[in-house]
């Protein structure tokens, strides 16, 4: 019984996946379906035209083997074959050209659709994904549809029409040899069913998992190689990487070895030489028994040997077809991503008074992350969010710039629900500086002008000086016109200061900060702190605090635990209270004391020279 239940559940899951695939095909490929159907009909006609010349040539050979050949019939058949072959070339090339034009138009339209969609999805959609994942959707997955649109249907129609027409003709010539040709095809189908058996999907998932693990450990090994060599432990850093490589190799060999052998056997079954030997052996027996005319063997030699190669076309295109089908499902997921409602008109915030009113939020239905949050942020004050990892700090802060919409309650800005504000007005009122700095691959100037496109050079210089980054920009090869990633290579701290300058230029009354100095070196941290001091002046500031010693001067501390506010007050009030904050503060003090002790120890300790080979 349990096995039956599991099988039913698996069958249901498979059905759901198939339905999802059909829906993706309708949604993503629907606009080009009718034109591709016409192109497929043209290819089917072209495939018939490819068979007919061989049939006519076979008839020519049979006529030439006759005792008194009819030469008029021979020339008529040859010229007809030549003409049909020319028609076939025109039809085939015309259909392929048309399908590529359809694909080019479809990709252009689809990319426009996806770009417009990305402008309407919640900003949180981007924080959950790397730039590589977004690029994969917009470029790789759209490119993967090329085979599905421009080639797959046409090639499969051709690969199906050609052998069917050939097989029907060969059955008319001699049904016994015709049926014999089905034997290697049936055996090939059996071999492929063993390869693509029930466990294939699970093996493919495991394969992708091992590939991801190898990729992760490779990056980890390369990034950490300086540290492990500096401490004379290269083997330790190499251990996890080697384990991943060995595990991947073991799995891949165990999985692909049998598949390769089976695929080799299957391919040989359709090898023209194997098919020819099979047909000749059977034909010799029939001819020897006067059951078949020798001339009837000619069509099987000319046409029968090609049936196997057309069947192999299905196998060769399956992987590209699977990739394209998976890409269409991922694109469908993006198309169906819920959008933020952006009203055509709405109130314009001015002062920056923010209120959370009984706010509840969850990334998935039935799994709330925040529970009944009530909070008020006044203009000219700084509020710090504190709490253990996973308490909901980042989630709460990112609801203010509407990275996500609340699932319960509401957030107001100057008394108006932020969902009633136009996106343009909201982002003019709410700015944010996050740990993960996002710079576009344009010039320094263009990165700054994202905040205010009409800003002049004087305004850019003013905010960059305030953010402690102006002098560094002038050191770049082309100053403000240097391109990020090409001739402007900024450290993490420098990039953060540039993002602070951009926030200063935006001049938003409400500001959300996610520990902007978390990964900065001491020198950069001091410069960033000076820049932040200018940035937060006279604004409504909400800061996510991971290092508690950086928030001793804030106006209000809000302590979160498991998505609920458990404490709030000034730093002095919460330090003296016997609550979660006082315990977090004590842990922070112990950590700072330990860091100070280690620094003093390092200053007095003698470091072995063999551990400094990376420095050298």
Give the pLDDT confidence of 412-452 residue by residue, as tens digits: 999 899 999 888 888 888 888 877 777 877 899 998 998 88
Burial letters for 94-114: b for 16+ Cβ neighbours within 10 Å, e otherwise?
ebbebbeebbeebbeebeeeb
Judged against a pLDDT cut of 60, whether residue 237 lies above it is answered with no
Q: How confident is the model at residue 396 (pLDDT cuts 50, 70, 90)?
A: very high
- Structure token digits, residue 50: 């490819």
DSSP β-ladder status, 430-433 and 367-377:
unpaired
- Structure token digits, residue 115: 């770009």
| pLDDT higher at 68 or 137 | 68
Residues 179-185: what's their mean pLDDT? Answer: 84
CA dihedral 499, 503, 505, 508 (to 10 degrees): 170
Q: How far apart are the C-alpha atoms of 205 and 537, rounded to whole Å?
A: 52
Judged against a pLDDT cut of 60, whether residue 10 lies above it is answered with no
232 Cβ neighbours under 8 A, 6+ residues apart: 608, 610, 611
Kind plus residue range of the DSSP H or E element containing 541: strand 540-544
Residue 384 in contact with residue 581, Cβ under 8 Å? no
Q: What are phi and psi of 102, to 5 degrees?
A: -60, -45
Of 54-58, 262-266, 327-331, 610-614, where does mean pLDDT reach its minimum?
Answer: 610-614
| pLDDT higher at 577 or 295 | 577
Cα distances from 545 to residues 174, 273, 286, 596, in angstroms, run: 84, 74, 89, 21
| pLDDT higher at 237 or 408 | 408
Q: Running DSSP on this structure, what letter comes out for residue 430?
A: E
Q: How many CB atoms lie within 10 A of CB 77?
A: 20
Residue 217 in contact with residue 248, Cβ under 8 Å? no
DSSP string, 493-513: HHHHHHHHHHHHHHT-SEEEE
Q: Among residues 87, 109, 107, which one has the least CA distance to residue 150?
A: 107
Give the pLDDT confidence of 65-81 residue by residue, as tens digits: 777 888 888 899 889 98
Q: How many CA atoms lie within 13 A of 419 on its CB side?
A: 14
Q: pLDDT value at position 231?
A: 45
Helix residue ranges, H only, 289-392: 297-302, 307-335
Q: pLDDT value at position 390?
A: 84
Domains in the chain, start-ordered, CATH in brackets?
19-174+292-335 (1.20.1560.10), 354-581 (3.40.50.300)
Give the pLDDT confidence of 571-611 residue by residue, as tens digits: 888 888 888 888 888 887 787 777 667 767 766 654 444 44
Which residue do the tokens 């085939």 mark?
92
Apex CA 47: angle with CA 44 and CA 48, to 5°?
90
User: What value does the mean pLDDT of the chain take?
Assistant: 79
Judged against a pLDDT cut of 70, whether residue 241 lies above it is answered with yes
What is this structure's pTM?
Answer: 0.62
Residues 396-404: what's their mean pLDDT? Answer: 89
Q: How confident is the model at residue 9 (pLDDT cuts 50, 70, 90)?
A: very low
Q: How far apart are the C-alpha atoms of 452 and 383, rounded to whole Å?
A: 26
């Amino acid at each position: 019984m349990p096995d039956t239940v599991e099988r039913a559940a698996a069958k249901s899951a498979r059905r759901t996946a198939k339905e999802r695939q059909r829906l993706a095909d309708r949604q993503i490929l629907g606009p080009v379906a009718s034109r591709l159907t016409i192109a497929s009909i043209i290819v089917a006609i072209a495939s018939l035209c490819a068979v007919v010349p061989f049939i006519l040539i076979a008839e020519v050979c049979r006529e030439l083997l006759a005792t008194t050949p009819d030469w008029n019939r021979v020339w008529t058949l040859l010229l007809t074959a030549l003409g049909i072959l020319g028609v076939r070339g025109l039809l085939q090339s015309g259909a392929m050209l048309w399908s590529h034009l359809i694909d080019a138009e479809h990709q252009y339209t689809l990319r426009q659709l996806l770009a417009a969609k990305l402008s309407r999805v919640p900003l949180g959609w981007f924080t959950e994904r790397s730039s590589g994942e977004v690029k994969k959707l917009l470029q790789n997955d759209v490119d993967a549809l090329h085979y599905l649109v421009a080639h797959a249907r046409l090639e499969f129609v051709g690969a199906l029409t050609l052998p069917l027409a050939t097989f029907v003709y060969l059955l008319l010539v001699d049904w016994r040899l015709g049926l014999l040709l089905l034997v290697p095809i049936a055996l090939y189908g059996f071999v492929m069913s063993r390869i693509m058996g029930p466990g294939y999907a699970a093996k493919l998932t495991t394969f992708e998992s091992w590939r991801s693990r190898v990729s992760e450990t490779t990056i980890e090994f390369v990034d950490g190689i300086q540290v492990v060599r500096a401490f004379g432990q290269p083997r330790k850093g190499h251990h996890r990487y080697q384990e991943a490589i060995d595990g991947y190799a073991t799995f891949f060999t165990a999985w692909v070895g049998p598949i390769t052998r089976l695929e080799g056997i299957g391919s040989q079954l359709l090898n023209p030489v194997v098919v020819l030997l099979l047909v000749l052996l059977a034909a010799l027996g029939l001819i020897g028994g006067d059951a078949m005319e020798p001339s009837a063997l000619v069509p099987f030699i000319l046409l029968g040997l090609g049936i196997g190669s057309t069947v192999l076309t299905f196998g060769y295109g399956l992987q590209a077809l699977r990739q394209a089908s998976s890409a269409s499902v991922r694109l469908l997921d993006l198309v169906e991503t819920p959008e933020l409602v952006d009203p055509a008109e709405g109130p314009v915030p001015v002062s920056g008074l923010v209120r959370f009113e009984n706010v509840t939020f969850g990334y998935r239905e039935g799994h709330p992350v925040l529970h009944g949050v009530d909070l008020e942020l006044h203009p000219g004050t700084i509020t710090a969010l504190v709490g253990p990892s996973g308490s909901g700090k980042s989630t709460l802060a990112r609801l203010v710039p509407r990275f996500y919409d609340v699932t319960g309650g509401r957030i107001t800005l100057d008394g108006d629900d932020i969902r009633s504000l136009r996106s343009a007005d909201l982002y003019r009122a709410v700015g944010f500086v996050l740990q993960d700095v996002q710079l576009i691959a344009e010039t320094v100037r263009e990165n700054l002008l994202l905040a205010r496109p009409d800003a002049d050079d004087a305004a850019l210089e003013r905010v960059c000086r305030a953010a402690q980054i102006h002098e560094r920009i002038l050191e770049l090869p082309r100053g403000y016109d240097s391109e990020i990633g090409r001739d402007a290579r900024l450290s993490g701290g420098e990039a953060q200061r540039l993002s602070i300058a951009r926030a200063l230029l935006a001049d938003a009354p409400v500001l959300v900060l996610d520990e902007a100095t978390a990964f900065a070196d001491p020198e950069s941290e001091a410069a960033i702190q000076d820049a932040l001091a200018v940035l937060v002046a006279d604004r409504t500031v909400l800061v996510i605090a991971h290092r508690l010693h950086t928030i001793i001067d804030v106006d209000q501390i809000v302590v979160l635990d498991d998505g609920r506010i458990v404490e709030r007050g000034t730093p002095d009030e919460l330090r003296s209270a016997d609550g979660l904050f006082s315990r977090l503060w004590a842990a922070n003090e112990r950590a700072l004391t330990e860091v100070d002790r280690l620094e003093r120890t390092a200053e007095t300790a003698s470091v072995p020279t063999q551990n400094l080979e990376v420095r050298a």
